[in-house]
Structure 1
Amino acid sequence: MISRPPAGPPASPESSSAVPECLKKQKAASLALYIGLVLLALWVVRDFIVVVAWAGVVAIALWPLLHKIAGSRWFKGRTTLLAAVLTLVIALLVVLPVGLGIAQALHEALELRDWFRGVQETGIAMPGFIERLPFGVQQISAWWQANLAQPLRDSAAMKGLHSNTVMTLGRHFGARAAHAAMVFAFMLVTLFVIFQAGPRLSGSLMKAARRGFGDSGADLVQHMATAVRGTVAGLVVVGLGEGALLGIAYFATGVPHAALLGFVTAIAAMLPFCAPITFGLAALWLLAQGSVAAAIGLAVFGSVVVFVAEHFVRPVLIGNSTRLPFLLVLFGILGGAETFGLLGIFIGPALMTVLMVLWTDLMQ
């Protein structure tokens, strides 16, 4: 017979429960370490989070187009070439209009400089429409004659234009412009990397979301991407529509550089309630030229276009793609812009989509 070694003493309940307790402490320590490392990494790249966020918004908006072009015979299997072409197109769509606008602004600045030198010697003549105002003509005329009709060379306002405040504002504007250019350049680099990764990146993100949060988490990520894509489409479509309609109005009322001003209006209209600034300035210019009827007509037409676009067309376009109610779309756009700035215009509707999905799951 085979002899068996004597059995050891039975494990005590204290020793058997100590192993799971030790494993729990290790998992808690690992989780704390992971969270600390992630927070540290985010703190290190904190200045580039906005860059990555902008690149993510653009990539999400163009992702269906990327898949469609990637399936064509010209770019099939050429992800690097496709990424380079799309990135170059996006850069040109931004750089060319901005360059044309800067060139036109420099041309206008030369004319403005000549006008500025002239009013220093002769003053500013009072516009003729002031005499046709229904009230306040004498008060306005007296103030104009005392402050603007005289040569402005020695006036306090002209002296203030050479003060340190103006120089400080100029340096601040230059610094902001340089920062915006740098952000745009890093955004293009990030966008190229995202486009080059292509379906592999989206597949990895969805796999990570499904592993970490289950199928419901992956569906939530898809809903957020749809919300961002719908928001971008709504902003761009509505902005271009407002710019086209107001560009026609500029041409009809005789505003100079109607095409350029219409383009500027389209860019401004992509941001909520920014289009009134452009057509309001154009209406003021018409008013200063004595075209009272044209100024009033442009102001009224622009107000109607902006009201309909901002309160009906844009929320409907975004709401149909995200299945959000009108009020949530409006709150998402305005609240997101107030909280996160320009980037919040896209983040807000995505967060409202998450809220709507969670509410729907809770009610089921």
Structure 2
Amino acid sequence: MSSNHPLLSPMRDTRKAQRIAWLVLNVVLIGLALWVIRDFIGPVVWAAVVTIALWPLLLRISGPQHEPRKASAIALLLTIAVGLFVVVPVVVVFAQTVSEMHDLAAWFKDAIANGIPVPAFLPKLPFGSQVADWWSANLARPLIGSPAMEQLHGTATVVTVGRHVGFLALRGIVHLGFMLLVLFVLLRTGPQLADQSVRAVRRLFGMAGARLAVRMAAAVRGTVTGLVVVGFGEGALIGIAYVLAGLPHAAALSLLTAIAAMLPFCAPIVFCVAALWLFSHGSATGAFAVLATGAVVVFVAEHFVRPVMIGNTARLPFLLVLFGILGGAQTFGLVGLFIGPALMTALAVVWRDSAQ
């Protein structure tokens, strides 16, 4: 039958309309599903990131058979390990804070009654005289009646702040539990889900799309490795400076520094506070040593070690890794630390393919 037969044209139009309607239906359904789970998209993405990071370990442990019972046990053990990795540092820091609560309460009571004396080093700093004058007018006097503390008075403010903190803590716990649940399911059904995903990507985008997906997954895996390994390395090196400077609870501070160092340029917040504490207690040499050590370690780690580790895995230039990490964090929040390098990898792959 000729392709110009009058009966074939309406059939082709009907099939084309059906394909368009099917595509629109899929887009609408996916959009509605994402809207329904919009508050839990973050935990799902985090679970996917952790699954990608643990993928080589999962394959090495489970083996080629991937028996259902063995798969469930392995997924459960890995999920518990991830949960402990998140919870234990928080518990350690919280327990350390609680152990110091008696001294902190006594200091706070004395500050309310007598004020907080101006640190001796403050007037020597740049703009220190202005800060010292404000400190004398607001904090060096008894805090009751101090202008800086007037807005904190009243039960309503305390209740509002307490409710807000409690809500954030409860939300964090719920999201963590949901993330661990999704992580268990992903690890449990990992190989089957991976095969289905690869087939779907290959069917939709061809072999080039499948290779791009593999490269993006490698970028996410390399980013996780770079953030965690370099973070613990920064915490260990700066922790040595804490010990030598004589800071109390140096181990807990090192752990807190390592956690902060997993986020780009957040470690300085911790070691600067530690240096400020040393300054206020008359140890200027120790404070300078902590600041100098922290600045050098963070500069080398953030500008060279971490981008090189991630770039070697994702095969990205230095600047693309740096822009991916910082831009991803600015655009998508914490999870953008992993999304950014993956997107930069996709950009680099598309550019190289188009240039060939």
Alignment TM-score, normalising by the size of structure 1: 0.90
SS in 2 for 1:41: helix
Offset of residue 34 of structure 1: 1.7
Equivalence for 1:69: 61
Counting aligned pairs with the same residue, the percent is 53
Q: How does 1:295-334 map to 2 (within 5 A)?
A: 295-334=287-326
**Contact (CA 8 Å) 1:51, 1:187: kept in 2 or not?**
yes
Equivalence for 1:257: 249
Offset of residue 158 of structure 1: 4.0
**What residue identity is the alignment partner of 1:160?**
Q
2:267 corresponds to which of 265, 268, 275: 275
Q: Which has the larger radius of gyration?
A: 1
Work out whether 1:214 is the aligned partner of 2:195. no
2:142 corresponds to which of 151, 158, 172: 151
**Contact (CA 8 Å) 1:286, 1:292: kept in 2 or not?**
yes
Q: How does 1:1-364 map to 2 (within 5 A)?
A: 13-71=5-63, 78-129=70-121, 133=124, 147-163=138-154, 164-364=156-356
What does the per-residue CA deviation read over 1:22-62, in whole Å, with 9 as the maximum and x for residues that have no partner? 22112111221122122112211222211110000000000
Which one is further off, 307-316 or 297-306? 297-306
Call closer, same or farther: CA 1:285–1:32 in 2, change over 3 Å. Answer: same
Offset of residue 107 of structure 1: 2.6
How many equivalent pairs are there?
A: 354
**What residue identity is the alignment partner of 2:152?**
L
Which one is further off, 64-73 or 296-305? 64-73
Paired with 1:93 and 1:169, the residues of 2 have a C-alpha distance of: 29
SS in 2 for 1:14: coil
Call closer, same or farther: CA 1:76–1:37 in 2, change over 3 Å. Answer: closer
Paired with 2:125 and 2:148, the residues of 1 have a C-alpha distance of: 29
Call closer, same or farther: CA 1:116–1:34 in 2, change over 3 Å. Answer: same
What does the per-residue CA deviation read over 1:266-320, in whole Å, with 9 as the maximum and x for residues that have no partner? 0000000100100010111111111112212211221111111100000000000
Call closer, same or farther: CA 1:258–1:22 in 2, change over 3 Å. Answer: same
**What residue identity is the alignment partner of 1:89?**
A
Which one is further off, 245-254 or 137-146? 137-146
Consecutive unaligned residues in structure 1, runs of 5 or more: 1-9
**What residue identity is the alignment partner of 2:216?**
M
Offset of residue 141 of structure 1: 7.0
Equivalence for 1:5: none
**Contact (CA 8 Å) 1:70, 1:77: kept in 2 or not?**
no
Paired with 2:191 and 2:185, the residues of 1 have a C-alpha distance of: 12
Consecutive unaligned residues in structure 2, runs of 5 or more: none
Call closer, same or farther: CA 1:303–1:30 in 2, change over 3 Å. Answer: same
Offset of residue 167 of structure 1: 3.9
Paired with 1:86 and 1:345, the residues of 2 have a C-alpha distance of: 22
Alignment TM-score, normalising by the size of structure 2: 0.92
**What residue identity is the alignment partner of 1:66?**
L
